[in-house]
């Protein structure tokens, strides 16, 4: 019995070995892009967050092509969006990409979500021990919150039907200096 032979060159073998790794790699979906700010001719400004509050009021600025910089005198504030269209049901693992500034002294940020039935949950983001001035990817599992502040009418967070997201300080005095780059979901 004669079996067909084929030859595999070294470049062909390398390509064959790399293909499964390429397909197995997680695909990212940008959920919040802090680099993008648009200004319409009428003066309307579009950004991925709607408001700031507390210590962060007037302390959050856009750095063109780099991200959104929080330079606040303390962690008693935050930013966010009401009536949000973001969802995490298809991407429950997310990476918050940030650069911690040299003047940052806060140890923790908090990412909060409220779904349409009123469930409020928070994920703590530890900045302790992370190097300053270098882009960091901080992984959050949206199915495992650090705490639940308020249960809604249905148990658990509905990651498909969200109404509010917020990034907040830890409500302590140390100043906050963090550049937000983007929030990406892992598919």
Strand partners, 140: 94
CA R_g for the chain = 21
pLDDT score recorded for residue 2:
59
Tell me the C-alpha distance between 144 and 92, whole Å: 9
Percentage with pLDDT > 90 across the chain: 76
104 pLDDT above the threshold of 70:
yes
pTM here is: 0.83
- Residues paired with residue 137 on neighbouring β-strands, in sequence order: 97
Query: Please, what are the domains in the chain?
Result: 27-186 (2.60.120.430)
Whether residue 9 is predicted with pLDDT greater than 50 in this model: the reply is: yes
CB 149 within 8 A of CB 71: no
pLDDT score of 1? 55
In this predicted model, what pLDDT tens digit does every residue of 132-168 receive, in sequence order?
999 999 999 999 999 999 999 998 999 999 999 999 9
Residue among 117, 139, 141, 121 at smallest CA distance from 130: 139
For residue range 77-93, what is the model confidence (pLDDT) as tens digits?
999 999 999 999 999 99
pLDDT in tens, 15-51: 545 555 444 456 899 999 999 887 778 777 778 899 9
Q: Is 19 exposed, middle or buried (0-12, 13-18, 19+ CB in 10 A)?
A: exposed
- Once rounded to an integer, what is the mean pLDDT over residues 119-136? 97
- Is the pLDDT assigned to residue 8 strictly greater than 60? no
Cα separation of 145 and 160, whole Å?
16
Average pLDDT rounded to a whole number, residues 101-107: 97
Q: What is the pLDDT of residue 23?
A: 45
Residue of 28, 24, 35, 7 lying closest to 182 (CA atoms): 35
Average pLDDT, the chain: 89
Scanning the chain, the segments in alpha helix (DSSP H) are 10-24
């Amino acid at each position: 019995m004669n079996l067909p032979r084929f030859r595999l060159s070294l470049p062909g073998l390398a390509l064959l070995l790399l293909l499964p790794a390429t397909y197995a790699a997680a695909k990212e979906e940008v959920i919040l892009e802090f680099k993008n700010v648009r200004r319409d001719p009428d003066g309307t400004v579009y950004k991925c967050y709607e408001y700031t509050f507390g210590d962060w009021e007037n302390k959050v600025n856009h750095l063109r092509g780099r991200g959104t910089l929080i330079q606040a005198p303390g962690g008693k504030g935050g930013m966010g969006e009401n009536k949000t269209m973001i969802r995490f049901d298809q991407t429950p693992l997310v990476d918050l990409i940030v650069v911690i500034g040299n003047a940052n002294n806060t140890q923790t940020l908090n990412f909060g979500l409220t779904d349409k039935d009123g469930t409020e949950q928070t994920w703590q983001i530890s900045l302790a021990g992370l190097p300053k001035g270098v882009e960091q990817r901080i992984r959050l599992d949206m199915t495992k919150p650090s705490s639940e502040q308020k249960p809604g009418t249905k148990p658990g967070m509905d990651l498909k039907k969200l109404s509010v997201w917020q990034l907040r300080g830890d409500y302590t005095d140390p100043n906050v200096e963090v550049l937000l780059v983007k929030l990406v979901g892992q598919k």
